[in-house]
Structure 1
Amino acid sequence: MTSEPIPKAIELGALRRAHARAMAVEEARADPESVTQRITDAAVKAGLEDQAADGAVPARSKERIYIDRLVKDQSKLKAPPGTHPISAFWSFGIQHPEAPLNNDGVPFLDQRFIAEEWAHQQNLREPGSAQTLETSQGGRELDDMFLWEDEVIEALGGAKAGFGPNYAQESWHEISGTYAEVAAGEVFVFADTANTRSILHKKELRALCDNDKVGLDNIHFVFEPPATWPEVTRTEAGTNAVRAVAQFDNPALPQYIDPHAYPADEPEIRKAKIDGFLALATPVQEAASVAAPGVDGPAITGPGVKLPEAEVPAAETPAVAAPTVHAPAVEAPSAVEAPVVPAAPASVRKPLWQVGFDHTPTAAKPSTPGTTTGPAAGAGAAVAPVLVPRPTGTGMDGPS
């Protein structure tokens, strides 16, 4: 597999977005009351009131109640009427010397901004053809609440008002799952794999597999499998379908593939492992078998089962009643049982990039938080980033 690096225009646009966001974060930290006032105004407009503690039910402010409703509000995450955009998802990011510094002091470009810039450029060609969570109505609103910032949480009343230390993460987990539930048709994933600590792994990919308007065949990873993988692993376990259901970083969790040990297994053992993982992503249906052939993965046969939960705190995933599994049908399902999936806009080209940038190194220094140096200020100087080992800081997608 050989493909182009992330295009220069998208790289520069993503850097501008990252620096603009860094400046907005600094402003929110300096004036958290203006942020909380927006949330309060929205809660008042919705007619909400503070909820006092009542036995086992803890106190919740009207702001907390408003946000809890927002992250489950499908109407604010659906595409505008008459449009059928490709929904983009993202996870983690890439070191880039011109990017803002993350919590570990590393110049770090979130995939979020790469995905947003890709969607922006697609929409310039054909309006309404692409979106990300943060560009949807609900995503923008939650993003502008700056819930990751301690100053904002304190201004909202902290734990006494229902804003515990994990509230930001829980909220983004919830809205991410809702966003995946309302997606339709082909989706693009801005990642090379789904790390087990990420929302992409814990929430989004399972929801996309279970979403009968998306399903396994419509999940497309924008980046090639990691270049450090052996060629056999890249070819067999690096397909879109396998990367959507398997994980490659934690042997203690289900669906693990060791990318470097994988080629040592016999071909029939490798095939059985892959087939087993793919079957786990097949939604429960009334037919006795479900075929999911495609150029990017082997066919799936046999009755489907739900993809099992993996490392998701109970607070992040409300209990849901298990679906009823029907006996195998004698006849094939009728055509009306198949959901109508909108076709992707003809102008949207399916990207396949390397996780990196194609530039000549320069002596440019990393920027400091809140500044707009380098490409963010319009300069054309380019640098050669280094791939990030799995990050250790905190951010919207878990570590970032």
Structure 2
Amino acid sequence: MTSEPIPKAIELGALRRAHARAAAVEEARADPESVTQRITDAAIEAGLEDRAADGAVPARSKERLYIDRLIRDQSKLKPPPGAHPISAFWSFGIPHPEAPLNNDGVPFLDQRFIAEEWAHQQNEREPGSAQTLETSRGGRELDNMFLWEEQVIEALGGAKAGFGPNYANECWHKISATYAEVAAGEVFVFADTANTRSVLHQSELGALCANDKVGPDNIRFVYEAPVTWPEVTRSEAGTNAVRTVAQFDNPALPRYIDPHTYPADEPEVRKAKIDGLLALAAPAQEAAAASGVEAPAVTGPGVEAPSVEAHEVEAPVVEAPAADGPVVEAPPAEATAAVKEPVVEVPQRSVRKPLWQVGFDHTPTAAQPSTPGPTAGPAGVSGAALAPVLVSSPTGTGMDGPS
């Protein structure tokens, strides 16, 4: 017997958020100058100036310098003192008949919005108990820069100003790893596995394993292992620990398990394979603990995330329209930069980890949302049960990029 699909209340709230984000993207495309002006203003406030090319040092605009600092600013990703929210992570998404269309014409719901709605509802019950990257101070700031949009990149000066074709992807890799570095205690992952093309696999899980305040034992997948896997694979390779270190989609990369041929191996062979994979997570955590300092950013199994040039200028907040959802504000950077954070024990929280199928209720419904979202959302959900499919995000771009 499997778990229930994603609850209807979460589903409807996630759809409202997805439609609101799609509308915001269209506004940014129509008026990119208003987006870039916010970034420019913040860069000026930080005292930045355009940097000309100098030998091996490339030219960079003050906006580029500002963003490079933002994606490494841990203070904007940490909760305020005394708050210990569950940090949620997410990857890719699920086709949904009422979701916005992506560039391929597929109605598609990012796991981002499912995670945000879960965090929002959790915070309604227990304030300050859950957050996602995009609802943190720094994540929301970067999200509202709309760096995936060609119009915004062009308005920022394009490649001549340091905004190359892969810049948005590099930024989200780095801020995602930084977000994983500052997590503490249990973390929840809104995915059933970590695809090798995802930020989750390439940047986040490695950083979480190396984080001595999290480690592999505290990583919890919100969804059960895929129901299409054989039962032996689900029970042995579908645990939180194995899904944290293994990958199931690319035999050309390390740590691969073929979920469908796995049961054909002898039990002792399967055990040796699983034990070997689990042993790979320990060295990073042990090295971080022995160093006595915060764990560095590391990449996921077998994949190296791109790097973005660092700068030493403190970045203020880019003011952007506030999105509906839980926001756990970090303390001002200047209040924390000079003080080494003491090691404290993370208290137990009453948050219960959901365990769902990656899918939706297949009973048609005309249920209305209980509260209005930031923009008009769908009137209801047609309930076709949909398996997870790896496709691009609603606008064809996103943290996990177009597939």
Contact 1:15/1:99 (CA < 8 Å) preserved in 2?
A: yes
After TM superposition, give the deviation of residue 362 of structure 1 in Å: 7.4
- Equivalent of 1:310, from 282, 302, 307? 302
The 1:69–1:358 alpha-carbon spacing in structure 2 relative to 1, beyond 3 Å, is same
1:397 corresponds to: 400
The amino acid that maps onto 1:107 is: P
The 2-side partners of 1:307 and 1:134 are apart by 20
Q: RMSD of the TM alignment (CA)?
A: 2.5
The amino acid that maps onto 2:54 is: D
Greater Cα shift, 179-188 or 2-11? 2-11
1:160 matched to 2:164? The reply is no
The 2-side partners of 1:358 and 1:308 are apart by 33
The 2-side partners of 1:315 and 1:284 are apart by 19
Residue 280 of structure 1 aligns to a residue whose secondary structure is helix
The 1:307–1:168 alpha-carbon spacing in structure 2 relative to 1, beyond 3 Å, is closer
Residue 94 of structure 1 aligns to a residue whose secondary structure is strand
2:337 corresponds to: none
After TM superposition, give the deviation of residue 262 of structure 1 in Å: 0.3
The 1:285–1:220 alpha-carbon spacing in structure 2 relative to 1, beyond 3 Å, is closer
After TM superposition, give the deviation of residue 359 of structure 1 in Å: 3.5
| Alignment of structure 1 residues 321-332 onto 2, 5 Å | none
2:94 corresponds to: 94
Q: Percent of pairs identical after alignment?
A: 79
Contact 2:94/2:389 (CA < 8 Å) preserved in 1?
A: no
The 2-side partners of 1:200 and 1:212 are apart by 18
Task: Give the TM-score normalised by structure 1.
Answer: 0.84
The amino acid that maps onto 2:352 is: R
1:118 corresponds to: 118
The 2-side partners of 1:385 and 1:58 are apart by 50
1:280 corresponds to: 280
1:148-194 per-residue CA deviation (whole Å, 9 max, x = no partner) reads: 00000000000000000000000000000000000000000000000
Residue 50 of structure 2 aligns to a residue whose secondary structure is coil
The 1:307–1:59 alpha-carbon spacing in structure 2 relative to 1, beyond 3 Å, is closer
1:216 matched to 2:220? The reply is no
2:331 corresponds to: none
The 1:246–1:398 alpha-carbon spacing in structure 2 relative to 1, beyond 3 Å, is same
Contact 2:95/2:389 (CA < 8 Å) preserved in 1?
A: no
Contact 2:241/2:278 (CA < 8 Å) preserved in 1?
A: yes
1:180 corresponds to: 180
Contact 1:186/1:344 (CA < 8 Å) preserved in 2?
A: no
Residue 50 of structure 1 aligns to a residue whose secondary structure is coil
The 1-side partners of 2:160 and 2:110 are apart by 32
1:58 matched to 2:58? The reply is yes
The 1:216–1:317 alpha-carbon spacing in structure 2 relative to 1, beyond 3 Å, is farther
Contact 1:177/1:204 (CA < 8 Å) preserved in 2?
A: yes
Flag the structure with more relative contact order, 1 or 2, with Cα contacts below 8 A and sequence separation at least 6.
2
The 1:308–1:20 alpha-carbon spacing in structure 2 relative to 1, beyond 3 Å, is closer
After TM superposition, give the deviation of residue 398 of structure 1 in Å: 2.6
The 1-side partners of 2:299 and 2:157 are apart by 38
The amino acid that maps onto 1:92 is: F
After TM superposition, give the deviation of residue 47 of structure 1 in Å: 0.8
1:196 matched to 2:224? The reply is no
The amino acid that maps onto 2:71 is: V
The 2-side partners of 1:380 and 1:163 are apart by 40
User: Any unmatched runs of 5+ in structure 2?
Assistant: 291-297, 311-342, 367-371
1:360 corresponds to: 363
After TM superposition, give the deviation of residue 310 of structure 1 in Å: 1.8
1:350 corresponds to: 353
After TM superposition, give the deviation of residue 377 of structure 1 in Å: 2.9
The 2-side partners of 1:307 and 1:383 are apart by 38
The amino acid that maps onto 1:312 is: E
The 2-side partners of 1:106 and 1:42 are apart by 36
After TM superposition, give the deviation of residue 380 of structure 1 in Å: 3.2
Residue 35 of structure 1 aligns to a residue whose secondary structure is helix
The amino acid that maps onto 1:151 is: Q
The amino acid that maps onto 1:358 is: D
The amino acid that maps onto 2:192 is: D
Contact 1:28/1:152 (CA < 8 Å) preserved in 2?
A: yes
1:226 corresponds to: 226
Residue 159 of structure 1 aligns to a residue whose secondary structure is helix
After TM superposition, give the deviation of residue 234 of structure 1 in Å: 0.1
| Alignment of structure 1 residues 250-261 onto 2, 5 Å | 250-261=250-261
Aligned residues: 354
Contact 1:189/1:221 (CA < 8 Å) preserved in 2?
A: yes
The amino acid that maps onto 1:37 is: Q
2:332 corresponds to: none
The 1:138–1:284 alpha-carbon spacing in structure 2 relative to 1, beyond 3 Å, is closer
Contact 2:364/2:381 (CA < 8 Å) preserved in 1?
A: no
